[in-house]
Amino acid sequence: MDRKVITDAHAPNPIGSYNQAVVSNGFVFTAGQVAIDPDTGKMVEGDFKAHVEQVFRNLSAILERAGSNLSKVVKFTVFLTDMENYAAVNEVFNTWLAEADAPARSLVSVKGLPASAEVEIEAVAAL
């Protein structure tokens, strides 16, 4: 099995014992990303959509470092602490992805997330 750890300074450092992403067998598997600004190490200011935007910026940086990009994502998993934000997640997704080419996606409600985040997203992308 081939395995390569991916790290990018344009995404937040892990806050636990994991890596930003791992490349294996032609795919990139990202860790879940929350709305932490990599420059400050703190959660971004703003409304829920601003948080989802930051998550996409973090994912994009990691995927690009791995040699992939958002258009090559085959599966997103989204974790929300409040299902009332479902429509806002969709709105932001539609600004980052072409709806016709959207990948598979799961969205689940959770009790809590690291760093008191309201949203966390992980991705699996082809190289």
Q: Is the pLDDT of residue 127 over 90?
A: yes
> What does the pLDDT average to over 101-105?
92
pLDDT of residue 99: 76
Q: Is the pTM of the predicted complex or chain greater than 0.85? A: yes
> 16-42, pLDDT tens digit by residue?
899 999 999 999 999 999 999 999 999
Q: Is the pLDDT of residue 100 over 90?
A: no
The Cβ of residue 18 has, within 10 Å, a number of other Cβ atoms equal to 11
| Rounded Cα gap, residues 11 and 20, in angstroms | 8
Pick from 114, 103, 113: nearest CA to 71: 103
Pick from 8, 66, 44: nearest CA to 119: 44
Pick from 40, 5, 41, 36: nearest CA to 20: 5
Please report the domains of the chain, with CATH numbers, ordered by start residue: 4-126 (3.30.1330.40)
Bridge partners, 23 (sequence order): 4, 28
